Structure 1
Amino acid sequence: MRPPRHLTPHLRSPTERALSMADIAWMGSHFRGYRHEEFILLSILPVLAAALARKRGALDGWRRGLQAVDRKLLAAAPALGRFYWETVITCER
């Protein structure tokens, strides 16, 4: 499955790329411990729609509702984390 990042190239630098789960594991291997928490799966839809329409903030209410769905999906099926758009990585020295 190709991520929809190709739809919004104007929102990132030309050299930016998504981290893979292997990238995260590699970073974590350099620390005593690490964890990661994913955010934004379905809630990216209104952001993409707004970006494609060039109207920022137009669909904020919809986005907030989808964020709640995103959290529930990830809690029910952690393997979906690899498809989420944002990850917070916490490493312990």
Structure 2
Amino acid sequence: NKGVSAILINTEKGLKVFDNIEKNCEAKELDVSTIMQINMYQPTNKPKDYDRIHAAYREKGFDEALSECSKRALKSNNKNRFKARIVKFLRKIKLK
């Protein structure tokens, strides 16, 4: 069980609640800047297919957009699996 990575306490009520449970957990006070990840203060980058997916959704509806995107993902996944099999085969040959 990995538990909670961080708890941010912003109010007196939150501090009281935490004081009641603190004895049941391992707690360490840190500066908030040490735990913040980039997506907490800056949005993540859009996926490269974002505009194409949304255009397909607007033009063709959910089912067609999902079907189109699934085909592309499957094709990409199959290509990666094929490459992995080739690498595995080549490593196997070298070992003999």
TM-score (norm 2): 0.27
Quick one: higher RCO (CA 8 Å, sep 6+), 1 or 2? 1
Q: Whose Rg is larger?
A: 2
Which structure carries more strand by proportion?
1
* TM-score normalised per structure 1: 0.27
